[in-house]
Amino acid sequence: MEKKRLGLALRVLIGLAIGVVVGIIVYSLPSGTLKDKILIDGLFQLIGQVFLRGIMMCVVPLVFVSLVNGAASMGDIKKLGRIGGKTIAFYLATTAIALVIGLVIANVINPGIGLDMGAIETVEVTEREGTSLVQILYEMIPRNPIQALAEGNMLQIIVFAILTGIALTSIGEKGKRVLALFEELNELVMRLVSMVMTIAPIGVFGLVARTFAQTGVAALVPLAKCVLAVYIALALHAILVYGGLLKGLTGLSPVRFYKKFYPAMAVAFSTASSSATLPVTMDLTQNRIGASKEIAAFALPLGATINMDGTAIYQGVAAVFIAQVYGIDLTIGMMATIVLSATLASIGTAGVPGAGSIMLTMVLQTVGLPLEGLGLILGIDRIFDMGRTAMNITGDAVCTTIISKQEGEFDEEIWNSDFDSKEIA
Ligand code: ASP
């Protein structure tokens, strides 16, 4: 499966590259029926929109089903009591901080300024201005969950799904069948997504070719700035937030932590999957860093499922990028909505390649940003995915280390030793 995923990422990248080249060639053509009607608003538009709408089709079922499952897995953990609660609180808090860092860096680097898609494309932008924070908070509770699903009101869907998941595990035995049903529905939705993703290379080609046919090479610089912004934010999060928390809460040296943990980051970087990296994360956190085996046994698998700080950073930057290329000013309220929705969405983001970019559609939809902007960044998603996955698993290990230390279950001897990890079979 991993191989197939890698193959897809490569094909999407090729689709993007061909889209750039074809787009630039078309850009140089004189205006006329061939350029404007047949290519830009014909062929490119058709294949781009078929792909985009395919993704949109999956968003509501995907968010609902995966969040019910995500919340249900937290429900189980809650039985573990205080440590479980602490882990979840840590995960959600660091994700929210990651989003803020992503938003701040994106607003400093302004990756989308200089590319004006708004002038060449008319997309629907839902104005959310004038909505106060208080209103955003209470409006998260759906008056009618069916209406929320039908209208694609993401925050309301998220709240309803999380409550459903928690309720489902708390009724125990009686909820087993519905729980199993949701797990099966999850398989179904994931298959739907991967069916749509099979046309991603062509879809991305269409979206990218259309953009470049309208802008020429001008679109390349913003894209590079977007990558830069994501990686700067990731590095800041690793150094300031993880480093600061490790030092401040446990006194452990962040440098030593990273020296011991970097092989797992390298695996995450190359596989772009938190789940696939889990065995290595487990091994290093227990046998090189010295975290408690019991705490690691639940905090790390849970983290690989619900804790996605790197993904959060990426979503924050991507949202600002897309807003900027469409000339939309993000209000404080909209940014708060991004933090809220992406933090909650991280619970439902699977630890597999590309999951974060699908969830991005949900974040965009929540704030009313045009999904069309996705075409550009989806094409180079792998570049983002590698970095964000490395950060995702680092967050899990940092949390596990801190809680182990605070609970007095940290093995100083392992931490102080320089021996290599004993491999877990
Ligand atoms: N690939 C990421 C992970 O496995 C999720 C994402 O796509 O952001 O952690």
Residue 280 confidence (pLDDT)? 84
CA distances in angstroms from 319 to 129, 258, 259, 280, listed in the order given: 16, 30, 33, 32
Neighbours of 391 (CB within 10 A): 28
Range in 28-42, 97-111, 169-183, 346-360 the model is least confident about: 346-360
Could you give the residue ranges of the DSSP H alpha helices within 40-175?
45-78, 82-109, 117-120, 133-138, 145-151, 154-170
What confidence tens digit (pLDDT) does each residue in 223-273 have? Answer: 899 999 999 999 999 999 999 999 999 999 999 999 999 889 988 898 888
Contact 313/101 with Cβ under 8 angstroms? yes
Residue 421 confidence (pLDDT)? 44
- How far away, in angstroms, is 151 Cα from ligand 1 center? 27
- How far away, in angstroms, is 307 Cα from ligand 1 center? 10
Per domain, the residue ranges of the chain are 8-423
Out of 308, 309, 377, mutate this one to test ligand 1's pocket (max ligand atoms within 8 Å of CB): namely: 308
Residue 211 confidence (pLDDT)? 80
* pLDDT of 43 strictly over 60: yes
- How far away, in angstroms, is 43 Cα from ligand 1 center? 32
Residue 172 CB contacts under 8 Å (≥ 6 apart), including other chains: none
Q: Please choose, from the candidates 344, 334, 346, 342, the residue with its C-alpha nearest in 3D space to the C-alpha of residue 316.
A: 342
Contact 330/370 with Cβ under 8 angstroms? no
Q: Please choose, from the candidates 105, 362, 106, 347, the residue with its C-alpha nearest in 3D space to the C-alpha of residue 241.
A: 105
- How far away, in angstroms, is 271 Cα from ligand 1 center? 10
- How far away, in angstroms, is 326 Cα from ligand 1 center? 26
- How far away, in angstroms, is 352 Cα from ligand 1 center? 5
* pLDDT of 2 strictly over 70: no
- How far away, in angstroms, is 420 Cα from ligand 1 center? 27
Out of 197, 392, 396, mutate this one to test ligand 1's pocket (max ligand atoms within 8 Å of CB): namely: 392
* pLDDT of 192 strictly over 70: yes
Residue 5 confidence (pLDDT)? 52
Which atom of ligand 1 is found nearest the CA of 308? 9
Contact 254/248 with Cβ under 8 angstroms? no
What confidence tens digit (pLDDT) does each residue in 73-86 have? Answer: 766 666 667 888 89
Residue 410 CB contacts under 8 Å (≥ 6 apart), including other chains: 250, 290, 291, 292, 401, 404
Residue 415 confidence (pLDDT)? 95
Residue 419 confidence (pLDDT)? 55
Closest residue by CA, ligand 1 atom 6: 356
Mean pLDDT throughout 394-400? 97
Contact 16/208 with Cβ under 8 angstroms? yes
Spatial separation of the C-alpha atoms in residues 402 and 45, rounded to whole Å: 50
Return the higher-pLDDT residue of 235 and 55.
Answer: 235
Closest residue by CA, ligand 1 atom 3: 351
DSSP 8-state secondary structure symbol assigned to residue 171: T
Mean pLDDT throughout 88-115? 93
Mean pLDDT throughout 159-185? 90
Closest residue by CA, ligand 1 atom 1: 353
Tell me the CATH number for domain 8-423: 1.10.3860.10
Residues near ligand 1 (Cβ within 6 A): 272-274, 308, 311, 349, 351-356, 385, 388-389, 392
* pLDDT of 279 strictly over 90: no
